[in-house]
Amino acid sequence: MFSDDRSNIDNMSLSPSLANDVFENAVQHAYLFCGEDSVAQARLFAMAINCTDSRDGNPCGICPVCRRTSLGSYADLIVIQPQKGWIRIDQIRDMQSKVFLRSMEGGKKVIIIEDADFMKTEAANSLLKVLEEPPEDTVFILCAATKDKLLPTIISRCLFYHFGKEGSFVIDPASLAVAEEKVLTFFSLLNGGVVPILNFADSFDKNKDKEGLLYFFIALWQKLAADAKNEVLQVSERELAMRSAMFAERAVDLLRRNINQRLLCDVTLIRLWLMYR
Ligand SMILES: [Zn+2]
Q: How far is the CA of 5 from the centre of ligand 1 (A)?
A: 22
- Tell me how far apart the alpha carbons of residues 234 and 224 are, in angstroms, rounded to a whole number: 14
Q: How far is the CA of 158 from the centre of ligand 1 (A)?
A: 25
DSSP string, 100-129: TSPPSSSS-EEEEETTTTSB-HHHHHHHHH
Per-residue pLDDT of the chain (277 residues; tens, 9 = 90+): 555 556 666 667 888 888 988 999 999 999 999 888 899 999 999 999 999 999 999 999 999 999 999 888 899 999 999 998 999 999 999 999 998 888 888 889 999 999 999 999 999 999 999 999 999 899 999 999 887 788 889 988 888 887 765 433 445 667 878 998 999 999 999 989 999 999 999 988 776 778 889 889 988 987 887 788 778 889 898 889 888 888 888 888 777 767 788 888 888 999 999 988 8
Tell me the torsion sign for CA atoms 168, 172, 175, 181.
positive
Q: How far is the CA of 109 from the centre of ligand 1 (A)?
A: 15
Q: How far is the CA of 52 from the centre of ligand 1 (A)?
A: 5
State the number of CA atoms in the 13 A half-sphere of 254 facing the CB. Answer: 18
Which of 53, 60, 62, 99 lies closest to 77 in space, CA to CA? 99
Q: How far is the CA of 96 from the centre of ligand 1 (A)?
A: 27
Rg (CA), the chain: 20
Q: How far is the CA of 38 from the centre of ligand 1 (A)?
A: 20
With vertex at residue 20, the alpha carbon angle to CA 16 and CA 21, rounded to the nearest 5 degrees, is 125
Task: Work out the number of other CB atoms within 10 angstroms of the CB of residue 67.
Answer: 14
H helical segments located in 134-234: 152-155, 173-189, 194-206, 210-228
Task: Tell me the C-alpha to C-alpha distance, in Å, between residue 172 and each of 148, 176, 224.
Answer: 20, 6, 20
- Tell me how far apart the alpha carbons of residues 153 and 16 are, in angstroms, rounded to a whole number: 27
Which helix (H) or strand (E) element contains residue 140? strand 138-144
Q: How far is the CA of 53 from the centre of ligand 1 (A)?
A: 5
Q: How far is the CA of 55 from the centre of ligand 1 (A)?
A: 9
Q: How far is the CA of 259 from the centre of ligand 1 (A)?
A: 33
Q: How far is the CA of 113 from the centre of ligand 1 (A)?
A: 22
For ligand 1, an ion, list residues with CB under 5 A.
51, 53, 59-60, 63, 66
Q: How far is the CA of 257 from the centre of ligand 1 (A)?
A: 29
**Angle between helical axes of 235-256 and 210-228 (0-180°, round to 10):** 150
Which of 99, 119, 123, 97 lies closest to 109 in space, CA to CA? 99
Task: Tell me the C-alpha to C-alpha distance, in Å, between residue 176 and each of 118, 183, 220, 257.
Answer: 25, 10, 10, 20
- Let me know: does 15 contact 161? Beta carbons within 8 Å: yes
